């Protein structure tokens, strides 16, 4: 497996609607992901849809594996 760089991302609390929080937690659970992984993957999918290019979210090519590209 090829080496890749990782970087920490520190996110601070944000206020969202209770309904959105419920949906995010439910869908993260259904996907077998932590809430952080789910939200970061969703953000990456959105950026990829806008045409921005990057190797992956957690591992190179992982967005391709979930069909986001």
The string of pLDDT tens digits covering residues 47-65 is 999 999 998 898 888 888 7
CA 58 to each of CA 10, 34, 36, 38: distance values in angstroms, whole numbers, following the listed order: 15, 13, 12, 11
Report pTM: 0.79
Phi then psi for residue 33, to 5 deg, are: -120, 160
pLDDT band at 19 (very low <50, low <70, confident <90, very high): very high
Q: What is the pLDDT of residue 26?
A: 98
Q: Look at residue 4 in the predicted model and tell me its pLDDT.
A: 75
Q: What is the pLDDT of residues 28-37, one digit of tens each?
A: 999 999 999 9
Judged against a pLDDT cut of 50, whether residue 1 lies above it is answered with no
- What distance in Å separates the CA atoms of residue 26 and residue 53, rounded to the nearest whole number? 29
Q: Is the pLDDT of residue 67 over 70?
A: no
Tokens of 12: 């601070």
Question: Which residues, other chains included, contact 68 with Cβ-Cβ below 8 Å and sequence gap of 6+?
Answer: 41, 44, 45, 48, 49
């Amino acid at each position: 497996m090829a080496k890749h760089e990782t970087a920490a991302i520190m996110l601070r609390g944000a206020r969202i609607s209770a309904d959105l929080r419920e949906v995010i937690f439910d869908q993260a659970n259904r996907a077998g992901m932590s809430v952080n992984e789910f939200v970061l993957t969703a953000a990456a999918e959105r950026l990829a849809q806008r045409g921005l290019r990057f190797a992956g979210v957690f591992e190179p090519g992982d967005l391709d594996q979930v069909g986001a590209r």
